[in-house]
Amino acid sequence: MTGFDRATERRPDGAAFIIAAILAALGALLIWQGRAIPDKGGYAGIGSGEAPLFVGLCLWALALTHVWKGLRHGAMGVPRQNPVPILFIIGGLALQLALLHVLGFSIASGLLFACTAAAFGKRNFAISLPAGIGFALAIYGVFDQLLKLNLPAGFLETLIFGG
């Protein structure tokens, strides 16, 4: 949605082997789980276990294709990635996950808001954190109070909107 050239110039090489390994692992998991299902299939001849088996085998085939392509094509590389913003966003999501039930929706989500803003260059938490908490409180008000969505409440929500 954002870049024109996103899918144009890259082709995994070293990455192809890592992707192949992930696909093979996922495939192996599916095959193992599919075979573990004690199911004879009834009239159809195929039961609950066959679909995971089939998808697992296809993932293995794709893993082998990745290896083959990775060997044939040289390194093209992906554009340089900046790891700091990624850590900010993932950290924000993790903080929200950890604090959601402790501090309530607004504070936890405000933290996520501030971390995401930081990832995009607004590092001044003294502004972004209150802004995020205020925004999240407004959302809480609309969605929990008006639209009856059940959002986890903390002390802040109880204080403002009542129990």
Partner 1 sequence: MTTFDFLLQGLGTALDPMILLYALIGVTLGTAVGVLPGIGPALTVALLLPVTYGLDPAGSLIMFAGIYYGGMYGGSTTSILLNTPGESASIVTALEGNKMARAGRGGPALATAAIGSFVAGLLATLALAFLAPHIVKLALVFGPREYFALMVLAFVTVSAAFGESTMKGLTSLFVGLALAIVGIDGLTGQARLSFGVPQLLDGIEVTTLAVAMFAVGEALFVAAQGAGLQDKVHAIKGSVAMTREDWSRSWRPWLRGTAIGFPIGAMPAGGADIASFLSYGTEKRFAKHPEEFGHGAIEGVAGPEAANNAAAAGTLVPLLTLGLPTTATAAIMLAGFQQFGLQPGPLLFATAPQLVWGLIASLLIANIMLLVLNLPLIRLWVKLLTIPRPWLYAGILLFATLGTIGVNPSPVELSMLMIFGVMGYAMRLHGYPIAPVVVGLILGPMAEAQLRRALAISQGDWSTLVSTPLAAGLLAVALAALVIPPILRWRGKGAVLKQIAGDED
Among 79, 130, 158, 161, binds partner 1 (CB under 8 A): 79
DSSP code string of the chain: ---SSTTTS---SHHHHHHHHHHHHHHHHHHHHHHHS----GGGT--TTHHHHHHHHHHHHHHHHHHHHHHHS----PPP--HHHHHHHHHHHHHHHHHHHHH-HHHHHHHHHHHHHHHTT---HHHHHHHHHHHHHHHHIIIIIIS-------HHHHHHH--
Q: How far is the CB of 162 from partner 1 (least distance, A)?
A: 20
* Residue of the chain from 14, 21, 35, 46 that contacts partner 1 (CB under 8 A): 46
CB of residue 82 vs partner 1: minimum separation in angstroms?
4
Residue 55 interacts with partner 1 (CB under 8 A): yes or no: yes
One character per residue 89-118, x = contact with partner 1 (rule: CB under 8 A): xx-xxx-xx--xx---x---x--xxx-xxx
Tell me the closest approach of the beta carbon of residue 18 to partner 1, in angstroms. 10
Report the nearest approach of partner 1 to the CB of residue 163 (Å): 18
7 counts as binding partner 1 under rule CB under 8 A:
yes
Q: Is 160 in the site for partner 1 (CB under 8 A)?
A: no
